[in-house]
Amino acid sequence: MNNNTPLSVKQLNTYIKSLFESDMHLINVTVIGEISNFKNHYSSGHLYFTVKDNDSAIRCVMFKSSAATLKFLPADGMSVIIRGRVSVYEKDGQYMLYAQTMQQEGEGELSKQFEITKEKLKSEGLFDEDNKRELPAFPERIALVTSETGAAVKDLINILGIRYPLCTVIMCPVLVQGADAPKSMIKTLNRVYKLSRLDLIIIGRGGGSSEDLAAFNDENLARTIFESPVPVISAVGHETDFSISDFVADKRASTPSHAAEMAVPDISELKATVLSLKKRISDISKSTYELYLSRFQNASYKVSSDKFYNYLDTKSRLLDTLFDKLLSKEKDCLNKKSASFEKYTAKLDALSPLKVLSRGFSVVKNNDSYIKSVKEIKQNDRLNIKFADGEASCLVTETKEEEIL
């Protein structure tokens, strides 16, 4: 640069930028600090914020391609570790930190501990495919080990009820976040293992940050899951989240909703399959009968002597015998399929709300909402009670909660 030659402002800023980007210490720098003035430009996908400590601050930007890799949503006051490069924005001459990766402070230690635990349990064979069990085709009792609040448990119960109402769902509420969460899940699992006639366990929670999901990376929890007497589905976070419980469980679901779809069949599809098989058996029997009848009729035209008549009579009797056996087997098969279909139909019919009402039960509504728990009503609420033969309106004067296992 010639000191006697005047420069435009842009030329000066461009020169300063080249100095920044030629400095080996500035093209790959790691900074720790607290986020402030955070702005998420949803239209562009870029993130703009300041990172500061007690003595200084620097403006930062994280472009859409880098921001898409984040597993948490940054916010003011959050302590983070940022890796990126320092350069100059030529338009206003300000230097900035261009963030390429960002993690919450402490996440690095969580990631390190995750890998240590993962390798330890893997070396012991807890992740081996030989130890994985197939899920039951038609589970009758499923235990849900998750938080009793939040969208995850609502999705699980809703999907299980729609897809396969013949299944009994046992809610086992636990802590899923925080230092006490692993102990809570371990204690509950050991109680669940003692339940009789249990077919399947689903353990998990909805999405969150690495710290939120850390409880499912606990080594003792993983060993407890491995000891389960029945198959276990792990459903922790979103599709991109992986936990130690995912690796040790018999099946991993990308989300709690996916776990419900994996756990049970769709009863509407089962009914369609049974009807299709019944029709197929009937069609095959009819076509087989018509085939042999046609052969018999064709053979009868070719007979011209007593010898052939005797031969034809013998074959005809054999055909009658075979046809009787075919009809008998068809009848047995249809009876078995019909009995199975009627069993499922009876169970579905027993689950009908009208049937339940006719047995002396009632349905309680507060406005347009069905009441499932005494926790959902309060004193002076006006409720509508539906019976099998009519309705009644009542005023709540007192509520009382009872502990349910």
User: Are 131 and 235 a contacting pair, CB within 8 Å?
Assistant: no
Instruction: Please state the φ and ψ torsions of residue 200, each to the nearest 5 degrees.
Output: -160, 150
Question: Residue 401 falls within a domain, yes or no?
Answer: no
Spell 374-395 as b/e; 16+ CB within 10 A means b: eeebeeeeeeeebeeeeeeeee
Determine the pLDDT at residue 186.
Answer: 97
Which of 324, 346, 368 finishes a domain?
346
Give dist(CA 186, CA 322) in Å, integer: 61
Q: 232 burial class (0-12, 13-18, 19+ CB within 10 angstroms)?
A: buried
pLDDT digits (tens, 9 = 90+) for 148-171: 988 889 999 999 999 999 999 999
Place of tokens 């069949």: 265
User: Are 215 and 176 a contacting pair, CB within 8 Å?
Assistant: yes
**pTM summary value:** 0.52
Q: 12 burial class (0-12, 13-18, 19+ CB within 10 angstroms)?
A: middle
Determine the pLDDT at residue 83.
Answer: 94
CATH number at residue 61: 2.40.50.140
Question: Residue 166 falls within a domain, yes or no?
Answer: yes
With a CB cutoff of 8 Å and minimum separation 6, the contacts of 403 are none
Is the domain of 243 the same as that of 275? no
Give dist(CA 226, CA 279) in Å, integer: 44
Question: Residue 1 falls within a domain, yes or no?
Answer: no
Is the domain of 296 the same as that of 336? yes
Q: What is the dihedral of CA 178, 183, 187, 188, to 10 degrees?
A: 20
Q: Are strands 79-89 and 29-41 parallel, antiparallel or unpaired?
A: antiparallel
Which of 346, 365, 386 finishes a domain?
346
User: Are 169 and 154 a contacting pair, CB within 8 Å?
Assistant: no
Place of tokens 């880098």: 66
Determine the pLDDT at residue 107.
Answer: 60
**In the chain, how many domains are there?**
4
SS3 state at 52:
strand
User: Are 45 and 68 a contacting pair, CB within 8 Å?
Assistant: yes
Is the domain of 123 the same as that of 256? yes
Secondary structure in 3-state letters for 151-209? HHHHHHHHHHHHHCCCCEEEEEECCCCCCCHHHHHHHHHHHHCCCCCCCEEEEEECCCC
Between 267-301 and 306-350, two packed helices, what is the crossing angle to 10 degrees?
170
With a CB cutoff of 8 Å and minimum separation 6, the contacts of 106 are 211
Spell 133-166 as b/e; 16+ CB within 10 A means b: eebeeebebbbbbbbeeeebbebbeebbeebbeb
Question: Residue 370 falls within a domain, yes or no?
Answer: yes
Question: Residue 173 falls within a domain, yes or no?
Answer: yes
Domain that holds residue 256: 109-263
Give dist(CA 358, CA 228) in Å, integer: 40
Determine the pLDDT at residue 234.
Answer: 97
Determine the pLDDT at residue 348.
Answer: 67
Question: Residue 170 falls within a domain, yes or no?
Answer: yes
For the chain, 405 residues long, the average pLDDT of each consecutive 10-residue run is 76 87 88 90 90 89 92 84 92 91 75 88 95 95 93 91 93 93 96 94 88 91 97 91 94 94 91 86 85 76 60 78 81 78 71 64 82 85 84 87 68
Question: Residue 404 falls within a domain, yes or no?
Answer: no
Determine the pLDDT at residue 350.
Answer: 64
Is the domain of 183 the same as that of 280? no
Is the domain of 320 the same as that of 359? no
Is the domain of 145 the same as that of 251? yes
> Which element (helix H / strand E) includes 123?
helix 107-123
- Starting at the earlier edge strand, list the strands of the sheet with 141-146: 168-173, 141-146, 200-205, 232-236, 251-252
Question: Which residue, 141, 140, 121, 135, is CA-closest to 226?
Answer: 121
Question: Residue 2 falls within a domain, yes or no?
Answer: no
Is the domain of 117 the same as that of 249? yes
CATH number at residue 251: 3.40.50.10550
Is the domain of 248 the same as that of 389? no
Is the domain of 127 the same as that of 238? yes
Is the domain of 230 the same as that of 114? yes
Is the domain of 134 the same as that of 252? yes
Is the domain of 255 the same as that of 319? no
> Which element (helix H / strand E) includes 65?
helix 64-67
55, amino acid identity? D
Which of 210, 228, 263 finishes a domain?
263
